Amino acid sequence: MRRAALAAVWLLTAVLQTALASAPGLNTAARHHADGRIPLGEFAFRALTTEAALVAVALAVCARRRMSIRWRIPSRAIGATTAGGIAILAISALAAVGMRAAGEAYSGLPIFSGSRVLIVVLLAAAVAAPAAEELFFREALLSRILLPCPRAVALSTQAILFGALHAGAGGPLLLSSLCGVGLALGWLRLRTDSLGAPIAAHAANNLAAVLFAAAGGD
């Protein structure tokens, strides 16, 4: 119990530090671009430091629990993975429509000014972020630290913290949609007993979001 409590403190500290670092009052994006977008260098630095911290803490928790990580998606879980991925894409699409209607801006991506920017953003958002965030939230937090908790409590807690991680990127519509995405990703992890399923769904969602933004949809 003592180790679990210490690991939980580490997890919560990492999430809160990231949320505070990107909070609107501390966000430097508006000083760089009129529309609030982040310069590429700042985006890359934030992505690198955030994902590295999440992976380090998650691996420490997993090592203490001495449980192997199931990366592979079982063949029996392909249907659930597909359904979960579609649900996540639907949540994100509805959020994008609602944000546009409400005039709520998203400041989590840089200005797309060339192929180099697109490549960096794709690597960070569609490769590094899904792997690191799923390892942190769905593996270390949901499947290990919160394992003794009732399922509804565990799912809700990790979903809220997942939303808090992105606190500075948008307003209430974005954050509520990310909590919904976090719930769906958590359900996928428990339903498939595999970390590969939420990683795949998360990566597909982020890929779609980046391509949509690069095409001028955001």
pLDDT tops 80 at residue 32: no
Collect contacts of 8-12 with beta carbons under 8 A, ≥24 apart: 8/145, 10/57, 10/60, 10/61, 11/57, 11/61, 11/136, 11/140, 11/141, 11/145, 11/161, 12/161
The answer to whether the CB of 38 falls within 8 A of the CB of 110 is yes
Tokens of 112: 């797309």
pLDDT tops 80 at residue 150: yes
Tell me the pLDDT tens digit for each residue of 68-112.
Answer: 889 999 999 999 999 999 999 999 999 999 999 999 988 888 888
Q: What percent of the chain has pLDDT over 70?
A: 81
At residue 217, the 3 state secondary structure works out as coil
The residue-averaged pLDDT of 4-25 equals 52
d(CA 140, CA 64): 10
The predicted pLDDT at position 67 comes to 74
12-16, 23-27, 35-39, 89-93: least confidently modelled range: 23-27
The predicted pLDDT at position 6 comes to 55
Quickly state the pLDDT bin for 114 (edges 50, 70, 90): confident
φ, ψ for residue 110 (rounded to 5)?
A: -80, 175
Quickly state the pLDDT bin for 160 (edges 50, 70, 90): very high
What is the identity of the amino acid at 140?
A: A
Question: In whole numbers, what is the pLDDT of the chain averaged over residues?
Answer: 85
The predicted pLDDT at position 9 comes to 53
> Structure pTM?
0.85
- Measure the CA dihedral 149/152/157/160, to 10°: 180
Q: What percent of the chain has pLDDT over 90?
A: 59
pLDDT tops 70 at residue 190: yes
Could you say which DSSP state residue 127 is in? I
pLDDT tops 60 at residue 11: no
